[in-house]
Amino acid sequence: MSRTPATTTPNGLHHITAIAGDPVENLRFYRDVLGQRLVKRSVNQDDPGTYHLFYADADGTPGTDLTFFPWPHAKPGRPGAGVVEETLLSVPVGSLEYWEERLQAADVHTGRVSQRFGEQSLRFADPHGLRLAFVETEDPFDFSPWHEGPVPAAMQVRALHGARAPIRELEPTRTFLEDTMGFRHFGEEDGWHRFVLPGAAGAGGGHLLDLRADPEGRRGEWGVGSVHHLAWTVDDPEHQVALRDAVAAAGRRPSDVIDRFWFESVYFMEPGGLLFELATTGPGFTVDEDQGALGERLILPPWLEGSRERIESILPPLDEAVA
């Protein structure tokens, strides 16, 4: 089977964006329990009356970033085909006992530690029902510990590890992943097929997507507690355009390039119904804030700055929780 040249293959996950409920509850869980740094407090650029909260390592390194649209009045998401079932987060080898104790101390129910594709994992859910799993991995990653956070640096969440999703038909997505995006099929276990990008060590931390065919399964729906999209990293606009052209040639109708100020984005649906994004590595979160002050105040892209007063009057307060 042919493979896409490296110039049209993404580098790995850039960020994963999910839908949350109450933004204060979201902040207190991901910052205070999981120990991730709030590196950008902004708004959904398509719905500026809603926060967009970004949690990552100390520097907001692409690939460490889990982001949320908090819509407190939205209905819960419905699991099913075409919707991510579980988000995988990379943690250091030997840290799951620490995390199990920490989560249980915060009244978070955890499953038993289990092995999947040779990796030890611990499953749990956030306060709004988003299903997560910590995965122990030695995969190298560009990670900056948050020394001011509540979790010791040696135990901190390192990066996004991957995602798992059921889809109705495996083969159309498999063909697209392999021939257009440059993934390879790593293996099958308990009905799950693991796909990894080039450069992945072992099973592919930050480079992987697990898929399961569910031909009779009902279609999932976005809502509180569900993943909205998976963003894959491209180096720069040239890399992004090359991959966008490959996606268009595969008939997936990608969006135009959209300026998100901290990165540029292209969106499209893969054949199984998962929403993908291609996001550039830069300019990054320090383009409008010093590294030491990331996440401390509401940041708006320049084209929304003229509406700041109205936007701030709509958004619920986060200052007490951020302090």
**Where are the chain's structural domains?**
6-322
CA 197 – CA 181 distance, rounded (Å): 8
Which helix (H) or strand (E) covers residue 174, if one does? helix 170-179
Architecture of domain 6-322: Roll (3.10)
CA 75 – CA 143 distance, rounded (Å): 35
pLDDT of amino acid 98: 98
pLDDT surpasses 90 at 4: no
Contact indicator for 122, 110 with CB cutoff of 8 Å = yes
Q: Is the peptide bond before 283 cis (omega within 30 degrees of 0)?
A: yes
Segment 263-316, tens digit of pLDDT? 999 999 999 999 999 999 999 999 999 999 999 999 999 999 999 999 999 999
pLDDT of amino acid 321: 60
Contact indicator for 45, 301 with CB cutoff of 8 Å = yes
Number of H-type helices and E-type strands within the chain: 6, 16
Contact indicator for 87, 71 with CB cutoff of 8 Å = no
pLDDT of amino acid 138: 84
Helix (H/G/I), strand (E/B), else coil: 314? helix
Starting at the earlier edge strand, list the strands of the sheet with 184-189. 114-116, 119-125, 131-136, 86-91, 159-167, 208-213, 192-196, 184-189
pLDDT of amino acid 1: 38
Contact indicator for 88, 58 with CB cutoff of 8 Å = no
pLDDT surpasses 90 at 166: yes
pLDDT surpasses 80 at 155: yes
Q: How many residues does the chain have?
A: 323
Q: Quickly state the pLDDT bin for 202 (edges 50, 70, 90).
A: very low
pLDDT of amino acid 8: 80
User: Position 302: which residue type?
Assistant: P
Closest to 125 in 3D by CA, of 87, 98, 94, 95: 87
| Distant-in-sequence, close-in-space partners of 290: CB < 8 Å, separation ≥ 6 | none
Phi, psi values for residue 244, rounded to 5°? -60, -40
pLDDT of amino acid 141: 73
Q: How many CA atoms lie within 13 A of 226 on its CB side?
A: 21
C-alpha distances in angstroms, 25 versus 22, 42, 187, 265?
Answer: 5, 17, 38, 28
pLDDT surpasses 80 at 196: yes
